[in-house]
Amino acid sequence: MGIEVNLDVILARRKVRSKDLAAFVGITEANLSLLKRGKVKGIRFETLARICEYLDCQPGDILRYTPEETE
C-alpha cells in the first residue's frame, strides 16, 4: 500500500511492551499485532493519538510513506 508501520521499532526503542500499549490505547493485543505488521486497512485518529501519547512520539514516527515500485 506504500504505508509502512514502524510501531515495533518505536516500541523496542522505548522498551514498551505491546500488552501495556494495547491496554493504554484500549485495543486488543491481537489488533495491535495486526497494526504492527501493517495488516489493517486503517487506523482511527483516536487510536493514533493514544499511541502517540503513550510513546511520546509523532504520527510520522510510527507511519512512513514509501512509494511503491512500478514495473
Q: Is 47 in the site for another protein (CB under 8 A)?
A: yes
Round to whole Å and give the CA distance between 46 and 69: 31
Residue 37 interacts with another protein (CB under 8 A)?
no
Contact 57, 10 (CB under 8 A): yes
Single out the segment in contact with another protein by CB under 8 A; choices: 12-20, 22-30, 57-65. Answer: 22-30
Among 1, 2, 12, 41, binds another protein (CB under 8 A): 41
Q: What three-state secondary structure class fits 58?
A: coil
35 is a contact residue toward another protein (CB under 8 A): yes
